[in-house]
Amino acid sequence: MAIRDGVRSSFVIYVALFLLGCQDSVKGHFLSTSKPDRHDAAASARWLVSQNSWGVLNTLSSDLGGTPFGNVVSFSDGPYDKGTGIPYFYLTTLDPTARNALKDQRSSFTISEYPLGTCGKRDPMNPACAKITLTGKLKELEENSKEAELARNALFTKHPEMKGWPKKHNFQFFELEIEDIFLINWFGGPKALTVEQYLHHRKDKSNSIQWMPY
C-alpha cells in the first residue's frame, strides 16, 4: 500500500506539472484570464489580443509591387489584464514591414487562438478556434511622446528581451490605428463588432467561462 500511495501522490504531482508545463511551453506565461463567453464579441476580441504575444502584421510591399506582405512580429496591447486593445509594435526599417508602413500605412494584424492551447483538438481553421484581424493604419509614434511611452511599457512588460535589442538597429514604436475588425469565434460567419465596442469594452462587465483544456 505504501508503494501505491507513493506512486499515486507522484502521479498527482506530475499530472499537475504536465498541465502547468504545457501551457507554459505554448505561450511563456499562464493564461491570466479565463476565456470569455463566445456570445460577447468585444470580450472575445479583447481576450484574444491581450493573451497573445505575437501575430502576423501585414503591409503592402514596396519591394514587390504592392503585394500584401505578412511578417511575424511580437506585439503588446498593455500588461496582461491591463490591455487597451490597441496593438503596439517595436519595428526597425532593417525589416520590410516598417519600410512598407512608412510609404503606405494601410495594414492589418492577425492573431489566432490556436497557439494559446485553448482550441482543444479542433483544427486551427475550425471557426470555434477564434481568429481576429484588425485592419487600419500602421503609424510610427513620435519619439518621447506619451504614446511612445505607453507603447514602451506595454511592449517591454510582455517582451523583456526587447530591452536588449541592438540600439544601432534603430527600433521605433508603432501603433495600429484600428478601423475595422474581423472576428470569428464560432460558426455562422464573422461577429458584428464595431471599433468603438471593442475599444470601450470593460472587462468587469463580461461573463467568462472557465478555461478547460479539452
Backbone angles phi, psi at 133, to 5 degrees: -125, 120
Instruction: Please report how close the Cβ of residue 188 comes to its own copies at its closest, in angstroms.
Output: 10
Distance CA 113, CA 46 (A): 12
Does the footprint of its own copies cover residue 212 (CB under 8 A)?
Answer: no
Contact map string, positions 116 to 155, toward its own copies, x by CB under 8 A: -x---xxxxxx----x-x-x--------------------
Instruction: Please report how close the Cβ of residue 160 comes to its own copies at its closest, in angstroms.
Output: 8
Interface with its own copies in residues 33-62 (CB under 8 A): 53-61
How many whole angstroms from its chain centre is CA 15?
A: 28
Q: Could you say which DSSP state residue 76 is in?
A: B
Distance CA 107, CA 58 (A): 5
Q: Which of 33, 62, 69, 147 binds its own copies (CB under 8 A)?
A: 69
Cell output for 15: 499530472
Contact map string, positions 184 to 203, toward its own copies, x by CB under 8 A: -----x--------------
Residues in contact with its own copies, counted by CB under 8 A, come to a total of 65
Nearer to its own copies among residue 14 and residue 32 (C-beta): 14
Q: Which of 33, 34, 62, 71 binds its own copies (CB under 8 A)?
A: 71
Query: In terms of Cα–Cα distance, which of 112, 96, 102 is closest to 174?
Result: 102
Q: For residues 129 and 123, is the Cβ–Cβ distance under 8 A?
A: yes
Distance CA 183, CA 41 (A): 8
Element spanning 184, H or E:
strand 172-184
Nearer to its own copies among residue 140 and residue 206 (C-beta): 140
Query: In terms of Cα–Cα distance, which of 101, 113, 97, 127 is closest to 187?
Result: 127
Nearer to its own copies among residue 39 and residue 66 (C-beta): 66
Q: What residues form DSSP beta bridges with 43?
A: none
Residues of this chain that bind its own copies (CB under 8 A): 2-4, 6-7, 10-11, 14-15, 17-18, 21-22, 25-26, 28, 53-61, 64-74, 90, 94, 96, 106-112, 114-115, 117, 121-126, 131, 133, 135, 159, 161-162, 180, 182, 189, 213
